[in-house]
Amino acid sequence: MSSGFRAMHPAVALLYYAGLLLFAALLMHPLFLITELVGVMLLLLLQGQGKQLLRGLPFYLLMAGSVALLNPLFSHRGAHILFYLWDQPVTLEAVLYGLIMMLVLLTIFMVFLSYNYTVTTDKFMYAFAAAAPKTALLTLMAIRFIPLFQRRLHEITMIQRFRGIDVSKGSLRKRMRDGMTLMKVLLTWSLEEALQTGDSMKARGYGIRRRTTYSTFVLDRLDTTALLLLVISGLIPLILWMLGYGTFEIYPRMRPLVFGGGEALMYTSFCLFVLIPAGLEGKEIWLWRSSRRKAYPSATPELNGTRSMSSPSQ
Amino acid sequence: MLMGPSGGGKTTLLRQLKRELTPVGTGSGIVRYAGLTLAGLPAERAAAEIGMVFQNPDAQIVMDTVWHELAFGMENLGYPPQVMRSRLAEMAGLFGLEPLLYKPVHELSGGQKQLLNLASVLLLQPKLLLLDEPTSQLDPVAAREFIQTLHRLNEEMSMTIIISEHRLEEVLPLADRVLLIENGVLKAACPPRELVSRAGEEQALAVQAYMPTAARLYLELPAQENSLSRPGFIPLTVREGRRWLHDYAAAASLGLPGSGVAGPACIPAAALVPGDDSEIMHPHKPDKKLPLLSAKEVTFRYEKEGREVLRKLNLTLYQGELLAVLGGNGAGKSTLLHVLSRMVKPQRGKVVAAPGITAGFLAQNPLLYFSYDTAREELQHMAAAARLAPDEAGREISRLAEVFELGQVLENHPHDLSGGQQQKLALAMVMLLKPAVLLLDEPTKGLDPAAKVRFAGLLALLRSQGMSIAVVTHDVEFAARYASRCALLFDGSITAEGSPEAFFSSNYFYTTAVNRMVRDLLPAALTIEDVMTAWHVYASR
């Protein structure tokens, strides 16, 4: 399925995910982190990735939870000592810091889950090609070779078994030697073909002049609007953060959370940034529902009773 | 159109015409393109206006998805995105590539890949198209489609096309001019019909092997003393051949004394004695047939949820026979050989071999077999793997080298051999295992007509030593000429089998060009030799 946020220009998606990662790393504020986490999970659910999310959740919780648990055990900084464990002080600051790190980790996991679904390889390569065209071309060619080599190696293995070259039988030494032989066959064969590939590239004018890139992605009005919104709503919290708003200081001594006017503006703008893609997905779903519910009004007046086109007129 | 035996310099000539690919070496003379010397042509014009498509469909693809491959050439020449977009749209429409646009390249069939290669060259809008045996790796249906596309380009856009080909049946009638190249020397350059009549006069057998069937039949049958033998009447296609033969038969029945009945029906089909003139074609079958290898209700699929490639297939291979298994693309022909050679295990059913029997398998790509530096080493290691004693191995290797004509090249690197020699070397390696059954996967792919005849001779020799051979092939002409039994693989099982005469004469389309031409007169005739025999029987009455 390719609609909603996933169907948009790669630049939109890349900007969004880069922003999310940046905020997850910068804003060590529980409110912002929880908002971001909820926002990304909402996007995942709207994209129909609920199953994927559930399958991975135990792992993510284990990883993130262990950070929350281990931090107070190893870090003893902070002024508020809760209790002593094996003669080691467990501080409130360390517990809180651990919990916040857990949130950060969970958020990053979720962001990557969503990123993997939204930004496919060719979208990434498209964005990448603008920055480093030569490397991008090389990477694309290499991508083609992976399944190709797999299939070839399978063929070679089958055939070479006739001459006793088999990696599944014999001593470790023999197996390793046989494995090398198989690789050698694969490489000589592939190099031979690579010569022809090179010819074919040269024949089509590779290296004559600077390459342009053909793209299947076009920036449309919705994309530009979304880009603009993302940039504005992302810049506001970033600037405010630099000015010192919305910070939550834990070490060396916890300061109370403040939530003033600056924070309110920052939070509103942040919410907008996080929820734009989810909003786009939601709109898509709503569009489909509504388009299915009511048919377009027809220009021809409807007659009474049902008529069928295929019924023979008598 | 360029033609001539492999290794005659066709590829070298084509590469001389494409500046980027001119081989390293010493040369003299000049090549001019549109008045300019090729070396003086601007790089961009040289790349765009002279397009080239090569033999191997896989090796010339650079990118991983279809649209990216199509765009590759245009990106190289730095076209603006708008131009690329409209050109690509147009070409995808012309070639019907739209549904494939976002597919990864490896999901395409060989024919589709070659069309993709052609399309990506055409996107640069070449004025001259060079093709180096573009259909040699394709099956007949895909090849015909490819050639039809070329014909369309030539007719509708008046594009100049230079093609080197072994598949003459389809290409020769379309060509305006034919260049015959042998050992680097231009032997002839004239329209195809003129070449046929010239070949007839000179009785040059080597050239005749390159003629389409209709033309060869025309040359073989004794010429008649009337308007029919004018050069303009030389038939090239099946349709022309058929019309000409009907006229010929009618004239013959009138002209010859002793034939009371007029019309073509007077050549009795029963008079056909299949292939008694050559030992290669149909060696005498052994009286009692000994089954060597049989598949019993074999069912096979590659993945658990996948399609059943073979479905309850029954097939038996008898001693001393040459079985040709035909079938469309993806019908499971290669899979059948894999199962028979026990490289893969079927999910249901079993493969039964007579006691003490081993099966040797020759894959389509001989490169799969080579892993050492010289042909001799390859054979020696294979002999060691087959547990032959050193002195016996030496004797066996020299014997095989003699039989397979490999003596000259034993010290060469296997990758430096020609395609035909590589195939022979791989076959020699398989023979060291002393198999009683030989399973060959598309052995005639990419061979020129002369090499095919030599290969068939080799198979006949092996058969005369009591070996039985199963060949999986697309090559109807080869199967009709040399097989002792033919089978059709369709929908996962063998749907028809029988002697070549019975098998092919019951088919309408899947049969030899000769049969399509003469089926009204001689329903059982499959090869030119069959027709000639019938003719001699008829003429001697």
Per-residue pLDDT of chain A (314 residues; tens, 9 = 90+): 456 777 788 888 888 888 888 888 888 888 888 888 898 888 888 888 888 888 888 888 888 888 888 887 777 777 777 777 787 777 888 888 888 888 888 888 888 888 888 887 777 777 777 777 778 778 777 777 777 888 888 888 888 887 777 777 778 888 888 888 888 888 888 888 888 888 888 888 887 777 777 777 777 888 888 888 888 888 888 888 888 777 777 776 667 777 777 788 888 888 888 888 888 888 888 888 877 766 555 566 555 555 555 444 44
Answer yes or no: is A147 within a domain. no
Query: Contact B121/A204, CB-based, under 8 Å?
Result: yes
Answer yes or no: is B196 within a domain. no
Contacts of A181 in chain B (CB under 8 A): 371
Determine the structural domain holding residue A70 and report its residue range.
Answer: 4-124+217-295
Closest CA to B91 of B153, B42, B22, B30: B153
Query: Contact B21/A155, CB-based, under 8 Å?
Result: no
Q: Which of residues 281-340 of B touch A (CB under 8 A)?
A: 338
Q: Is B430 on the interface with A (CB under 8 A)?
A: yes
Query: Contact A208/B43, CB-based, under 8 Å?
Result: yes
Average pLDDT over residues B279-296: 62
Compare all CA atoms of chain A with the CA of B63 and give the residue at the minimum distance.
A141
Q: Is B131 on the interface with A (CB under 8 A)?
A: no
Q: Is B118 on the interface with A (CB under 8 A)?
A: no
pLDDT at B470 over 70: yes
Closest CA to A201 of A134, A132, A288: A134
Contacts of B531 (CB under 8 A, 6+ apart): B217, B220, B221, B514, B518, B522, B525
Measured CA distances, A80 to A66, B206, B218 (Å): 22, 100, 107
pLDDT at B274 over 50: no
Would you place residue B281 in the very low, low, confident or very high pLDDT band (cuts 50, 70, 90)? very low
Tokens read off for B33: 């393109």
Q: What is the pLDDT of residue A307?
A: 52
Cβ–Cβ < 8 Å for B341, B439 = yes
Q: What is the pLDDT of residue A302?
A: 56
Answer yes or no: is B461 within a domain. yes
Residue B294 and residue B255 in one domain: no
Q: What is the pLDDT of residue B23?
A: 77
Question: Looking at the partner chain, which of A140, A155, A208 has a beta carbon nearest the beta carbon of B63?
Answer: A140
Size of interface A-B (CB pairs under 8 A): 149
| Per-residue pLDDT tens over the stretch B193-228 | 887 777 776 655 566 677 778 887 777 777 655 445
Compare all CA atoms of chain A with the CA of B343 and give the residue at the minimum distance.
A158
Query: Contact A200/B56, CB-based, under 8 Å?
Result: no
B128: left (phi over 0), alpha (psi -120 to 50) or beta: beta
Q: Is B76 on the interface with A (CB under 8 A)?
A: yes
Q: Is B490 on the interface with A (CB under 8 A)?
A: no
Residue B103 and residue B218 in one domain: no
Residue B295 and residue B362 in one domain: yes
Q: Is B104 on the interface with A (CB under 8 A)?
A: yes
Query: Contact B67/A214, CB-based, under 8 Å?
Result: yes
Contacts of B154 (CB under 8 A, 6+ apart): B161, B174
Query: Contact B20/A163, CB-based, under 8 Å?
Result: no
Q: Is B210 on the interface with A (CB under 8 A)?
A: no
Measure B204 CA to nearest chain A CA, in Å.
35
Q: Give the distance from CA B8 to its chain's centroid.
A: 18
Q: Give the distance from CA B323 to its chain's centroid.
A: 18
Answer yes or no: is B195 within a domain. no
Q: Which of B50, B65, B367, B427 to mutate to test the interface with A (most CBs of A within 10 A)?
A: B367
Rounded to 5 degrees, what angle do the CA atoms A234, A237, A241 make? 135
Closest CA to A149 of B103, B58, B111: B58
Task: Give the best-scoring range by mean pLDDT among A291-300, B256-265, B270-279, B443-452.
Answer: B443-452
Question: Looking at the partner chain, which of B48, B76, B79 has a beta carbon nearest the beta carbon of A206?
Answer: B76
Query: pTM to 2 decimals?
Result: 0.74
Residue B55 and residue B164 in one domain: yes
Cα–Cα distance measured from residue B218 to residue B222, given in angstroms and rounded to the nearest whole number = 8
Residue B252 and residue B307 in one domain: no
Answer yes or no: is B194 within a domain. no
Residue B245 and residue B183 in one domain: no
Report strand pairing: B291-301 vs B185-190.
unpaired
Q: What is the domain-level CATH number for residue B407?
A: 3.40.50.300
Q: What is the pLDDT of residue B206?
A: 63
Q: What is the pLDDT of residue B414?
A: 85
Cα–Cα distance measured from residue B523 to residue B403, given in angstroms and rounded to the nearest whole number = 37
Answer yes or no: is B197 within a domain. no
Cα–Cα distance measured from residue A113 to residue A107, given in angstroms and rounded to the nearest whole number = 10
In the Cβ-directed half-sphere of B376, how many Cα atoms lie within 13 Å?
Answer: 9
Tokens read off for A235: 């810049």
| Per-residue pLDDT tens over the stretch B349-380 | 888 888 878 888 888 888 888 888 888 888 88
Answer yes or no: is B345 within a domain. yes
Q: Is A283 on the interface with B (CB under 8 A)?
A: no
Question: Looking at the partner chain, which of B47, B78, B338 has a beta carbon nearest the beta carbon of A204?
Answer: B47
Would you place residue B276 in the very low, low, confident or very high pLDDT band (cuts 50, 70, 90)? very low
- In this predicted structure, which of A20-24, A275-279, B178-182, B233-237 has the lowest mean pLDDT? B233-237
Would you place residue B277 in the very low, low, confident or very high pLDDT band (cuts 50, 70, 90)? very low
Q: Which of B368, B388, B425, B434 to mutate to test the interface with A (most CBs of A within 10 A)?
A: B368
Cα–Cα distance measured from residue B203 to residue A112, given in angstroms and rounded to the nearest whole number = 75
Question: Looking at the partner chain, which of B56, B72, B88 has a beta carbon nearest the beta carbon of A204?
Answer: B72
Measure A132 CA to nearest chain B CA, in Å.
14
Cβ–Cβ < 8 Å for A219, A11 = yes
Q: Is A134 on the interface with B (CB under 8 A)?
A: no
| Per-residue pLDDT tens over the stretch B413-460 | 888 887 778 888 888 888 888 888 899 988 887 777 778 888 888 888
Q: Is A162 on the interface with B (CB under 8 A)?
A: yes
Neighbours of B43 (CB within 10 A): 14
Q: Is B61 on the interface with A (CB under 8 A)?
A: yes
Question: Looking at the partner chain, which of B77, B88, B104 has a beta carbon nearest the beta carbon of A205?
Answer: B77
Measure A1 CA to nearest chain B CA, in Å.
14
Measure A9 CA to nearest chain B CA, in Å.
16
pLDDT at B26 over 80: no
Contacts of A202 in chain B (CB under 8 A): 20-21
Query: Contact A147/B106, CB-based, under 8 Å?
Result: yes
Compare all CA atoms of chain A with the CA of B435 and give the residue at the minimum distance.
A162
Residue B484 and residue B449 in one domain: yes
Q: What is the pLDDT of residue B376?
A: 87
Query: Contact A193/B56, CB-based, under 8 Å?
Result: yes
Q: Is the dihedral of CA B467, B472, B475, B479 positive or negative?
A: positive
Would you place residue B285 in the very low, low, confident or very high pLDDT band (cuts 50, 70, 90)? very low
Helices B390-403 and B419-431 sit at what angle, rounded to 10 degrees?
A: 140
Answer yes or no: is A42 within a domain. yes
Q: What is the pLDDT of residue B260?
A: 37
Q: What is the pLDDT of residue B195?
A: 79
Answer yes or no: is A268 within a domain. yes
pLDDT at B139 over 50: yes
How many domains, in total, are found in chain B?
Answer: 3
Q: What is the pLDDT of residue A295?
A: 59
Based on its alpha-carbon atoms, the radius of gyration of chain A, rounded to whole angstroms, reads: 29
Q: What is the pLDDT of residue B258?
A: 38
How many domains, in total, are found in chain A?
Answer: 1
| DSSP letter string, B199-264 | HHHHT-HHHHTTS-HHHHHHHHSPPPSSGGGSGGG---SHHHHHHHHHHHHHHHHHHSTT--S-SG
Contacts of A164 in chain B (CB under 8 A): 385
Answer yes or no: is A307 within a domain. no
Q: Which of A204, A210, A219 to mutate to test the interface with B (most CBs of B within 10 A)?
A: A204
Contacts of A207 in chain B (CB under 8 A): 76
Share the mean pLDDT of chain B: 80
Answer yes or no: is A235 within a domain. yes
Determine the structural domain holding residue B314 and report its residue range.
Answer: 280-509
B353: three-class secondary structure by DSSP = strand
| Per-residue pLDDT tens over the stretch B147-160 | 888 898 888 888 88
Residue B215 and residue B347 in one domain: no
Residue B368 and residue B423 in one domain: yes
Question: Looking at the partner chain, which of A164, A188, A199 has a beta carbon nearest the beta carbon of B415?
Answer: A188
Question: Looking at the partner chain, which of B67, B385, B429 has a beta carbon nearest the beta carbon of A164?
Answer: B385
Answer yes or no: is A61 within a domain. yes
Question: Looking at the partner chain, which of B44, B64, B381 has a beta carbon nearest the beta carbon of A140?
Answer: B64
Q: What is the pLDDT of residue B422?
A: 85
Residue B158 and residue B67 in one domain: yes
Q: What is the pLDDT of residue B263?
A: 39
Q: Which of A152, A163, A167, A180 to mutate to test the interface with B (most CBs of B within 10 A)?
A: A163
Q: What is the pLDDT of residue A86?
A: 80
Cβ–Cβ < 8 Å for B524, B252 = no
Measure B254 CA to nearest chain A CA, in Å.
59
Answer yes or no: is B135 within a domain. yes
Q: What is the pLDDT of residue B295?
A: 86
Amino acid identity of A214? Y
Contacts of B303 (CB under 8 A, 6+ apart): none
| Per-residue pLDDT tens over the stretch B301-358 | 887 777 888 888 888 888 888 899 988 777 788 888 888 888 888 888 888 888 878 8
Q: Is A207 on the interface with B (CB under 8 A)?
A: yes
Question: Looking at the partner chain, which of B81, B124, B338 has a beta carbon nearest the beta carbon of A215?
Answer: B81
Cβ–Cβ < 8 Å for B488, B496 = yes
Residue B359 and residue B240 in one domain: no
Compare all CA atoms of chain A with the CA of B50 and give the residue at the minimum distance.
A203
Answer yes or no: is B347 within a domain. yes
Query: Contact A203/B61, CB-based, under 8 Å?
Result: no
Answer yes or no: is A34 within a domain. yes
From B159, B188, B217, the end of a domain falls on B188
Measure A191 CA to nearest chain B CA, in Å.
10
Query: Contact A185/B59, CB-based, under 8 Å?
Result: no
pLDDT at B278 over 50: no
Q: Give the DSSP H or E segment for B362.
A: strand B359-362
Q: What is the pLDDT of residue B261?
A: 38
